[in-house]
Amino acid sequence: MRKIAANRGIWMLALGIVIGLVLSNLMHFLNQPTNVMAQEAAKNPAADLTEMQADIAHLKEVVPSQSHTMTDVGYQFANLWFAGKRQNWPLAEFFLNESRQHIVWTIRIRPVRKDPAGNPVDIKAIFDTISNGPLKDLAQSIQNKNEAQFSNSYKQMLTACYSCHLASGKPFLRPVVPQSPPQTIISFGPAGGKSE
């Protein structure tokens, strides 16, 4: 019996050692991924920063110039004239919203320009003033479905646009009432009317 008890004690001790070794290795294994992740995180900030800087430089290279986005504004704004003159108010509202969105896009590209003397010109501040004045009046004329008010507001908006061009040192960019629509595939007449 003593032999069995002694053997049982040895077996219990051996089992305890084996369980201890297994738990020790398991704890080491569980902590290792954390250490690897911590080591990777310690290595990556510079690599992440370098990669981010490269991405930013690439984005700056592929962003269109303001002249590109303003060409879109001119296209939308010229179409707006013909939609309003034909009293197609939903189409006029569409072209007004497109014009506004393309102006906002232009501002996002370059919110502050330099004038010819090198002074900063805050394009966003100029647009905020226009947006709360002539552009708001133009939107109201469309809501009122008033062609005479629309014509006057449209021309006031052209004047406001030119004031921004002047402030930016671009007096040669003088917008005028368009003589022919740039869009030829869309009917400017009211919905349900005959096609042109």
**Confidence at residue 170, expressed as pLDDT on a 0 to 100 scale:** 93
Residue 108's pLDDT band (boundaries 50, 70, 90)?
very high
Instruction: Label residue 169 left, alpha or beta by phi (over 0 means left) and psi (-120 to 50 means alpha).
Output: left
**Confidence at residue 143, expressed as pLDDT on a 0 to 100 scale:** 98
The mean per-residue pLDDT over the stretch 122-151 comes to: 97
CA distance 78 to 141: 16
Task: At 116, list the tokens.
Answer: 């010819």
The identity of residue 76, as a single letter, is Q
pLDDT tens digit sequence for 23-61? 666 566 556 555 555 566 566 666 688 888 888 888 878
Question: What are the extents of the domains in the chain?
Answer: 1-34, 66-167
pTM, whole model, 2 decimals? 0.69
**Confidence at residue 6, expressed as pLDDT on a 0 to 100 scale:** 54
pLDDT tens digit sequence for 159-178? 999 999 999 999 999 999 99
pLDDT tens digit sequence for 72-101? 999 999 999 999 999 999 999 999 999 999
Residue from 67, 167, 179, 171 nearest 126 by CA: 167
Residue 190's pLDDT band (boundaries 50, 70, 90)?
confident
Residue from 102, 101, 97 nearest 139 by CA: 97
Using H for helix, E for strand and C for coil, what is the string for 140-154?
HHHHHCCHHHHHHHH
| Top CATH class, 66-167 | mainly alpha
